[in-house]
Chain A
Amino acid sequence: MLRLEKRPAPSRAWTAATPVLAVVLTMIAGGIMFALLGKNPFEAIRIIFWDPLFHESFAAYSRPQLLVKAGPLILIAIGLALGFRAGVWNIGAEGQYIMGAIAGASFGLAFYPSESPLIFPGMIIAGALGGWAWSMIPAILKTRFRTNEILVSLLLVYVAEKFLASAAVGFLRNPEGSGFPGSRNLSRIDSMNNPELISGTGMHWGVVMAFIAVIAAYVLLNKHLLGYQIKLAGQAPRAARFAGVNPNRLIVLCMGVSGALAGLAGLFEVSGPAGQISIDFNVGYGFTAIIVAFLGRLHPIGILLAGLLMALTYIGGELAQLMLQIPAPAIQAFQGMLLFFLLAVDVLSTYRIRFKKEGVA
């Protein structure tokens, strides 16, 4: 009989090994799914994980996409992870991402056609503020009225999407766009452009900011008192209060930081890769970042790696749709499996499995 036995302390080896194991299990289960769909599973897995980086004809296009896609995921996930560590569940990063993009784009376009070099820095600040302000709604409702931040932040995503649609066809619509929805193309306006910094790498300011966020979060969690308080509040709320941590202050701080980082991700996306505010500007980075945060064990370095891996499955998934006609929902299911298996094998780090023969009753 199989039995689970709680370990006296979580195993460090298994904590590091479970993400790798989850990836392997996802490949196996995903392979079976692809085989049932009538596709060659080995080819599908190779196309998803290998071809985007090393295929002789696609790699030149898809390799820079890796950083373009991973940048916002990492930036958002770092902010979310701080909150998740403290037991503050911001599920609405997608909405904060949208609001950051709208706020940043609005700031820039308000000065159009000015050529001032201060416009882009101003947009960055406006983007961060936009995401921050949107996250303050669930934060203040929680601290004042004990509402559930999971529900409020999630539902505000749909409010933000409606606001995005109204902006794209209303106050941000390109006056020279012959009536089509969508704003001016920011990436074609020099003062508002978030350019590719090194040609052929996909590196833009958002990716730089993501790397800075990883380092800052690492220092915060390991060296700083605030990081200690965040961990303490998440693990033992009563002990945190005993240690003088003000829970409301921590909620506002964690929601604020994750909202601001999501807003930044939105701003860098709208001024760079996406180029403009459009009705379907958001593509789900805010939700996928939740998976990235957990896949990376809420650890900054882990999130960096998980963000890159997740970006790879995105690019590879698109490639697989193109090359093997694998349906898009199957690719999404494949990405979902990754989180599913991670949570499932998570049990190994806190429990050990014992095989034991059941005695005679």
Chain B
Amino acid sequence: MTGEPLLSIDNITKAYPGVVANSDVSFQIQPGEVHALLGENGAGKSTLVKMIYGLVRPDSGSMTFRGAAYAPPEPRIARSTGVAMVFQHFSLFEALNVAENIALGMENPPPQRDLAKRIREVSEAYGLPLDPDRLVGDLSAGERQRVEIIRCLLQDPKLLIMDEPTSVLTPQEVEILFHTLRKLAAEGTSILYISHKLEEIRALCDEATILRLGKVVGKCTPRDTSAAEMAELMVGKSLATPARDNADLGEVILKVSGLSVEPSNPFGTPLRHIGIELHAGEVLGIGGVAGNGQDELLAALSGEVTTAPGTVTLHKNPIGDKGPNERRELGILCGPEERLGHAAAPDMSLVENALLTARQRKNLADSGFVNWGATRAYAEKVIADFDVRTPGPDNVARSLSGGNLQKFVIGREILQDPTVLVVNQPTWGVDASAAADIRQAILDLAQKGAGVIVISQDLDELLEVSDNFAALNEGRLSNVRTTRDLTMETIGLMLGGAHDMHDLDEEAIHAEA
């Protein structure tokens, strides 16, 4: 594969006010190659692919596509040249069916019936099962991604860009996707694969370009390079894996039984008969693909959604009907997934955001009047203890990077010394070293005897921190299993919903034998 490259990127530089997103970046993609673009959040991967796709224009440098100069002023031109892209966030209408959604993205859509036929052909040819007549609102995240991929494939692209495609998939769905991508590559389509998951890249990609702080810091052949070596190139230092001493689980502190909640909006997920027993010192990991009830479960535990008193008990006291502040007083603290707008108010300072959840346990208000001095001191303590990088506590939450704000939000809860901590996606969009810090803080908290529930879509994270594991699927929670006994395959089956019945059968057979 050393002929003329399909796409050659030469000395591309792009600066935004205050930050250089890409500096002097060069690399080549050969025809039929799966090329990985590897880097942490904020390394400049997105900006780079946006330039290839015509969404952003470079300040300097040049691109060559199949031997001709290539500078797409808009995505339409990029698509007609043969570049297609599947975004991390889908742009689909839930109330329309698959074929209608695909037609919306086309320049001259054929009649619905012909289009449906072509969708079926392409989906069968590439092993991506998809029914063109189904409503997108009823599809899983993995199926929605297939809609986006097929939308691209119908254009017959020479280069397919995939931005973090596996973040929403179960392990089985990842296998299906990889199968498709390998087949495409074998037919001569090049793939630019963006990710920070090293094992995936080692399994799939032929070549890798590693970015750090907007610069190319290395190139390697992933199959011949260890994950640790790539991680070091990506982060710039070696990372400590979070660890703690062996856990001794104490008595049950939080108990959830028969918890069912109807969703508040038509595309929400209802919770069905959720049962949880959380012990002192335990980290319970709850896995699941996005949209299977994670937000709803957190809201039911935080008290934003109240239920019958007996469905949630803390130290055997019923608290299901208590609101967020009453639960905080009792020691249940939460960190929601959405940092801006839910865990923190974007345009308020960190001092004001410290008051958001710490008022009760830190006595920050006296008969209704806020003690701003004490609030500021608490915000400063969170910033210092959790190494939050910000010029000061008066900066607004929006001005912090994702990782720093997440450290602030998690730190704000942990420093209140919770009995139970519930966090949803604690390291989503956070760079690797901040993620390691956050995970370590969660483990330290459990070590001190608190119970922690980590809801996450990142299986590696759950395997790393949790003692026990359960999967959330369409609002139902699987049986709890000991994490260290689990294989990736079992986890995949649990996430897909094929768990309890199967287990019961097996146990019945064993009992009979």
Do A and B pair up? The answer is yes
Partner-B contacts on A (CB < 8 A): 5, 8-10, 223-226, 228, 231-232, 235-236, 238-244, 246, 359, 361
Cβ contacts under 8 Å, B352 to chain A: 228
C-alpha spacing A246/B323, complex, angstroms: 9
**B355 in the interface (beta carbon within 8 A):** yes
Q: List 20 A-B contacts (CB under 8 A).
A: A8-B398, A9-B396, A9-B398, A228-B355, A228-B370, A232-B356, A235-B346, A235-B347, A236-B342, A236-B348, A238-B342, A239-B356, A241-B304, A242-B304, A242-B334, A242-B342, A242-B356, A244-B303, A359-B57, A361-B73
Known contacts A224-B369, A228-B352; A243/B357 CB under 8 A: yes
Cβ contacts under 8 Å, B357 to chain A: 242-243
C-alpha spacing A223/B369, complex, angstroms: 6
Using A223-B372, A236-B348 as known contacts, list a sample of 9 further A-B pairs with CB atoms less than 8 Å apart, ordered by residue number in A.
A8-B398, A8-B399, A10-B347, A223-B369, A225-B370, A239-B344, A241-B324, A242-B343, A244-B325
Judge whether A223 and B341 touch: CB under 8 Å.
no
Judge whether B336 and A225 touch: CB under 8 Å.
no
Partner-A contacts on B (CB < 8 A): 17, 57, 73, 302-304, 323-325, 328, 334, 336, 338, 341-348, 352, 355-357, 359, 365, 368-370, 372, 395-396, 398-399
Residue from B334, B348, B356, B365 whose CB has the most chain A CB atoms within 10 Å: B356
C-alpha spacing A244/B329, complex, angstroms: 12
Known contacts A228-B355, A244-B324; A239/B399 CB under 8 A: no
C-alpha spacing A341/B314, complex, angstroms: 56
Instruction: Sort A-B residue pairs by CB-CB distance and give the 7 closest, nearest first.
Output: A244-B325, A236-B345, A244-B324, A8-B399, A238-B342, A9-B396, A239-B345
Cross-chain contact of B348 among A231, A242, A359 (Cβ < 8 A): A231
Cross-chain contact of B359 among A225, A236, A361 (Cβ < 8 A): A225
Cβ contacts under 8 Å, A223 to chain B: 369-370, 372
C-alpha spacing A242/B323, complex, angstroms: 9
- Complex: chain B residue closest to A232, CB-CB: B345
- Complex: chain B residue closest to A244, CB-CB: B325
Least distance between B296 CB and chain A CB atoms (Å) = 14
C-alpha spacing A6/B328, complex, angstroms: 36
Cβ contacts under 8 Å, B395 to chain A: 9
Residue from B302, B325, B345, B395 whose CB has the most chain A CB atoms within 10 Å: B345
Cross-chain contact of A242 among B57, B324, B346 (Cβ < 8 A): B324
Cross-chain contact of A225 among B303, B323, B341, B365 (Cβ < 8 A): B365
Known contacts A9-B395, A241-B304, A244-B324; A235/B369 CB under 8 A: no
Known contacts A8-B399, A232-B348, A235-B347; A242/B370 CB under 8 A: no
Judge whether A238 and B338 touch: CB under 8 Å.
yes
C-alpha spacing A232/B57, complex, angstroms: 38
Known contacts A9-B399, A228-B355, A242-B336; A236/B341 CB under 8 A: yes
Least distance between B299 CB and chain A CB atoms (Å) = 9
Cβ contacts under 8 Å, B303 to chain A: 244
Judge whether B368 and A235 touch: CB under 8 Å.
no
Least distance between B59 CB and chain A CB atoms (Å) = 8
- Complex: chain A residue closest to B323, CB-CB: A244
Cross-chain contact of A238 among B341, B347, B368, B372 (Cβ < 8 A): B341
C-alpha spacing A8/B341, complex, angstroms: 16
Least distance between A352 CB and chain B CB atoms (Å) = 9
C-alpha spacing A242/B357, complex, angstroms: 8
Known contacts A223-B369, A232-B356; A242/B399 CB under 8 A: no
Cβ contacts under 8 Å, B398 to chain A: 8-9
- Complex: chain A residue closest to B334, CB-CB: A242
Cβ contacts under 8 Å, B372 to chain A: 223
Judge whether B17 and A235 touch: CB under 8 Å.
no
Least distance between A257 CB and chain B CB atoms (Å) = 15
- Complex: chain B residue closest to A354, CB-CB: B17
C-alpha spacing A224/B304, complex, angstroms: 23
C-alpha spacing A242/B359, complex, angstroms: 13
- Complex: chain B residue closest to A231, CB-CB: B348
- Complex: chain B residue closest to A243, CB-CB: B356
Judge whether B344 and A225 touch: CB under 8 Å.
no
Judge whether B348 and A225 touch: CB under 8 Å.
no
Cβ contacts under 8 Å, A226 to chain B: 368
C-alpha spacing A243/B323, complex, angstroms: 10
C-alpha spacing A236/B328, complex, angstroms: 20
Cβ contacts under 8 Å, B341 to chain A: 236, 238-239
Least distance between A39 CB and chain B CB atoms (Å) = 44
Cross-chain contact of A235 among B324, B328, B348 (Cβ < 8 A): B348
Cβ contacts under 8 Å, A243 to chain B: 324-325, 356-357
- Complex: chain A residue closest to B302, CB-CB: A242
C-alpha spacing A316/B345, complex, angstroms: 43
Least distance between B496 CB and chain A CB atoms (Å) = 30
Residue from A224, A231, A244, A361 whose CB has the most chain B CB atoms within 10 Å: A244
C-alpha spacing A359/B338, complex, angstroms: 37
Judge whether A239 and B343 touch: CB under 8 Å.
yes
C-alpha spacing A232/B348, complex, angstroms: 8
C-alpha spacing A10/B398, complex, angstroms: 11
Cβ contacts under 8 Å, B355 to chain A: 228
Least distance between B77 CB and chain A CB atoms (Å) = 11
- Complex: chain B residue closest to A10, CB-CB: B347
Cβ contacts under 8 Å, B359 to chain A: 225
Cβ contacts under 8 Å, A235 to chain B: 345-348
C-alpha spacing A43/B37, complex, angstroms: 68
Cβ contacts under 8 Å, A5 to chain B: 17
- Complex: chain A residue closest to B324, CB-CB: A244
C-alpha spacing A5/B372, complex, angstroms: 33
- Complex: chain A residue closest to B366, CB-CB: A225
C-alpha spacing A10/B346, complex, angstroms: 11
Least distance between B364 CB and chain A CB atoms (Å) = 9
Known contacts A5-B17, A9-B399, A359-B57; A239/B342 CB under 8 A: yes
Cβ contacts under 8 Å, B346 to chain A: 235-236
Cβ contacts under 8 Å, A240 to chain B: 345
C-alpha spacing A241/B341, complex, angstroms: 10
C-alpha spacing A239/B346, complex, angstroms: 10
C-alpha spacing A225/B369, complex, angstroms: 6
Cβ contacts under 8 Å, B345 to chain A: 232, 235-236, 239-240
- Complex: chain B residue closest to A240, CB-CB: B345
Residue from A5, A223, A242 whose CB has the most chain B CB atoms within 10 Å: A242
Cβ contacts under 8 Å, A231 to chain B: 348
Residue from B73, B302, B357, B370 whose CB has the most chain A CB atoms within 10 Å: B370
C-alpha spacing A95/B341, complex, angstroms: 35
Cβ contacts under 8 Å, A224 to chain B: 368-370
- Complex: chain A residue closest to B57, CB-CB: A359
- Complex: chain B residue closest to A360, CB-CB: B71
C-alpha spacing A353/B304, complex, angstroms: 41
C-alpha spacing A89/B359, complex, angstroms: 28
Least distance between A87 CB and chain B CB atoms (Å) = 13
C-alpha spacing A359/B14, complex, angstroms: 13
